[in-house]
Amino acid sequence: MLKEQVAHVADEVLNPFAIAQAQLDEAAEILQLDPEMHVFLREPMREFHFTIPVRMDDGRTQVYRGYRVQYNDARGPAKGGIRFHPDETIDTIRALAAWMTWKTAVVDIPLGGAKGGVICDPRFLSATELERLSRGYMRQIARYVGITKDVPAPDVYTNPQIMAWMMDEYQVLTGHQEPGVITGKPLEIGGAAGREDATARGGIYTVREAAKVLDIDLVGQRAAIQGYGNAGQFAHLLATELLGLKVVAVSDSRGGIYNAAGLDVTAVRNHKAETGSVINFREADNISNEELLELPVMVLFPSALENVITQRNADNIHATIVAELANGPTTPAADEVLYDKGIYVLPDFLCNAGGVTVSYFEMVQNAYQYYWDEAMTQQRLDQKMTAAFHAVHNMAQIKHVNNRVAAYLVAVNRVAQATRLRGWV
């Protein structure tokens, strides 16, 4: 029955929250969770829907729809980013909040899971309009967030400057300094050294550990990166510097580029900064996102949005390791195909957990007003990501399941234990 449901999700619906629930269902069955616990963990604990009126530069008022979902806080304050995206949906926010719950649990930090978003296209907003929208969002959620309640962070199309505006608005509303209410802030106002590349760096550490257990020498091997935003660009840099990989293809929303001899990270980044896209890079051939995903590489980094590897194209994936820096890039039906093909998948809420881990470090530093240098952040991130990788890998070996199911088994068990100890269920 579950396989039929998953196939339906993969082939027809592709609803992120339905996928998140199907993944939980499989873990609950293996863990033999009590039915009451299973039902409780399937749904968000709290949701907030609101409208944000914004005075535009031309004098008119534009009304935006926003969301904040606090999925589960049994293990600690909720934690999760805020997206500004024109195609945002409440089901995407629910799914991402669920994945944040499992993500904080799998890396064993004392936080729960949340997510927020606004339906907008920030690319068409002026800096002053973007500031008004950011402050308006915080005005709507201020009573529900705080270092002991829920701590937002940047996500798609949001950045440290937006976090700075939101933190400042919170302090205007409450009348006191609380820098830990937001993470991903600029260093000058309480940000953490090492946060900028943390998502990619954490993923690179898991690739390194995967290569060890698979007995693979990564030096000189080919890699491809689908999605060339913050995580994708840092993955390009760190895959080269730390692992010795040769990145032969990268892509963004407009298309991709390929050069069998490898792509220079500085040149590609400069080209994207100048033109707005990686396409038409003079030292590479243009390819599609679909072609990039199907290249024969050692490591594939899906680093964009959800549902790019589905049942439709999973059999055409030829990577040895798929390292999911994006949230939800692989559907459950595709997972089964990749597992049967022997492809080693580093699931999203393990692979990209470096960001929330360093956000947690930022909260800790804000709380006691003492800040670490970048080397200490990286050392402690390495320890957390390495321990999380081996917890998941060992669970997969013991239970004879794929890595995503194993990550769910580790995370869901930890959240269920906390829920049970609190006496909620």
What are the catalytic residues? 115
User: How does DSSP classify residue 61?
Assistant: E
CB 126 within 8 A of CB 140: no
CA torsion angle 240 286 306 359 (round to 10): 30
Element (H, E) at 255: strand 255-258
Q: How far is CA 49 from CA 52, 64, 66, 140, 233, in A?
A: 10, 11, 6, 9, 33
Contact status, residue 29 vs residue 2, Cβ threshold 8 Å: yes
The strand order across the sheet containing 46-55 reads: 46-55, 61-72, 113-119, 78-85, 150-154
Distances from the Cα of 387 to the Cαs of 115, 178, 364, 390, in angstroms? 25, 31, 20, 5
Residue written as token pair 């027809």: 12
Residues in the chain: 425
Q: In sequence order, which residues have a C-beta less than 8 Å from that of residue 60 and are 6 or more positions away? A: none
Backbone angles phi, psi at 400, to 5 degrees: 60, 50
